[in-house]
Amino acid sequence: MMQLDIRIKMNEKLYLRNPEESALGKRIVNRGLTLINKLGFEDFTFKKLAKEIDTTEASIYRYFENKHRLLIYLIAWYWSFLEYKVVFSINNITDPVIKLKAIISLLVVEPDKKMRNDFISEWEAYQLVKWEGSKAYLTRSVTRDNKDRLFKPYKDLCARIANIIKECNPKYKFPNSLASTMLEMSHAQKFFMENLPSLTDSQKIEDSKLTLFLEEVIFKVLQK
Amino acid sequence: MMQLDIRIKMNEKLYLRNPEESALGKRIVNRGLTLINKLGFEDFTFKKLAKEIDTTEASIYRYFENKHRLLIYLIAWYWSFLEYKVVFSINNITDPVIKLKAIISLLVVEPDKKMRNDFISEWEAYQLVKWEGSKAYLTRSVTRDNKDRLFKPYKDLCARIANIIKECNPKYKFPNSLASTMLEMSHAQKFFMENLPSLTDSQKIEDSKLTLFLEEVIFKVLQK
DNA sequence: GTGAAATGATAGTAATACTATTATTATTTT
DNA sequence: AAAATAATAATAGTATTACTATCATTTCAC
């Protein structure tokens, strides 16, 4: 797949000051992602990040209200970016089955570690979603955050996949649930493979098996 | 289903002092569960719990190393308890399809709010798993915690379901992944229904739809 | 070159996540 | 019933977290 040079428009409620508009902001996002991945979200603090990028805690707080908002920002970026990739990769494909296969492949195959898109590393964002993705919404502030449309990128992607599912089988009753299952499971099963392998059927970490598993689930369910 | 009066044997690594063996220990677990559900895990602290049950922080720390261990304890209890319910409810059933349907129903239908089993409220444990379940393993200490067998109850249940899946279709290649998908999705979809409904296909919160969705996924996948 | 905006430096607060010490109760043993 | 033991309460203390506030300095836009 060719390199996409995409600028993703982020929801303004995600930040206090747009991090894309300054060198410091970009460093906060970029290195913040790296540091969350390194320490885990629980142990990550703005103070540690400040030290890492040689600035002050107070400066970071001018960009993001708190570390949870930074997390949502990064995860929203990932889902937006993935939607672009999806749109791009299914362009010109008419068969919805092939479209879904292309999407599954985008979900399962880890992005190239070296590739740097925009100011965020796609590979790092993928790791983040795998490890911390559900922490974005598993909080008491879901409803509020949802009203602020912070989860819009995820919901948009889900809706897009649901539409392709409907193309496959217009009579299928649960296209949205199947789409969210697909999104959730690709990351969860990957996490299990790598960390709790007895919950899966892959001794070795094999994307091919996960792909097969997901394809089977989706297409058997959609069989008429 | 008749009331089960079960005593669940908990892994000793989950606690420093067995909370079942004292009145204070039971209060920590019991009211801790309530308080986590009330505040959300992030805002829950041992200090707040101490105030709630009229004891001191230090006393709680004698039972649990930290709040994450208490979370794992509660979640492990839930999965162990659910396995008992599963074993009980599929007893005397020979048809694996009926067995799986029974399990799906146990996963989807919320337990009775009033019923108090042992010293832990089953309904509250169910809410906890729905909101905080994945936080038990989505940490940098997964591998360590897994070595200490803290996730054994979850893995045991998954393995048991996988075996029934194999009974249904001995040739199916991914029984464990399908089982963990079933466990994860029943709670995730419920959470979505209640908090991010556009990710699902239920406007109203309907267990019947979720049941149908899950049954369809499982049985279509297992069709020969 | 001036003014505005962004950043840095520094400080401070309340809460969190613990650990330690000693005193006081309960419980068990003899 | 007294002594020994164990559990809990009371209290204090530390380092870190999650912020907020103030003011000086640098950078940038016009």
Summarised one tens digit per residue, pLDDT across range B185-224 is 999 999 999 999 999 998 777 899 999 999 999 999 999 8
List the B68 CA – D10 C1' distance (angstroms).
26
List the A22 CA – D30 C1' distance (angstroms).
19
The answer on pLDDT for B116 being more than 90 is: no
Q: What is the pLDDT of residue B27?
A: 96
C-alpha closest to that of B40 among B111, B135, B174: B135
Residue environment code for B97-136, b if the CB has 16+ CB neighbours within 10 A, otherwise e: eebbbbbbebbbeebeeeeebbbbbbbbbbbbbbbbbbbb
Better pLDDT: A110 or B202: A110
Report the residue of chain A nearest B153, measured CA to CA: A199
Identify the bridge partners of residue A120 per DSSP, sorted by sequence position: A117
Q: Which residues of chain B make contact with A195, given a CB cutoff of 8 A?
A: 137, 142-143, 146
Mean pLDDT of B78-94: 95
Tokens of B152: 């054994």
Q: What is the pTM of this model?
A: 0.94
pLDDT band at B3 (very low <50, low <70, confident <90, very high): low
Nearest Cβ partner for B139 among A42, A189, A216? A42
Rounded to 5 degrees, what angle do the CA atoms B67, B134, B140 make? 65
Q: How close A203 gets to chain B, by Cα (Å)?
A: 12
Q: What is the pLDDT of residue B118?
A: 64
d(CA A149, CA A135): 16
Instruction: Tell me the nt nearest to A63, Cα to C1'.
Output: C6
Q: Which residues of chain A make contact with B159, given a CB cutoff of 8 A?
A: 198
Mean pLDDT of A37-41: 98
Cα atoms found within 13 Å of the Cα of residue B113, Cβ hemisphere only: 1
Identify the bridge partners of residue A121 per DSSP, sorted by sequence position: A116
Residue nearest to nucleotide D18 (CA to C1'): A66
* Torsions phi, psi for B121 (to 5 deg): -80, 125
* Torsions phi, psi for B27 (to 5 deg): -65, -40
| Identity of residue B46 | F
| Identity of residue A57 | E
Q: What is the residue-averaged pLDDT of chain A?
A: 94
Judge whether residue A176 contacts strand D, using its CB and a 7 Å cut-off.
no
A182, A105 contact by CB (below 8 A): no
Better pLDDT: A4 or B7: B7
Mean pLDDT of A126-147: 97
Task: Judge: B174–A221 Cβ closer than 8 Å, yes or no.
Answer: no
Better pLDDT: B157 or A3: B157
Tokens of A198: 């007895």
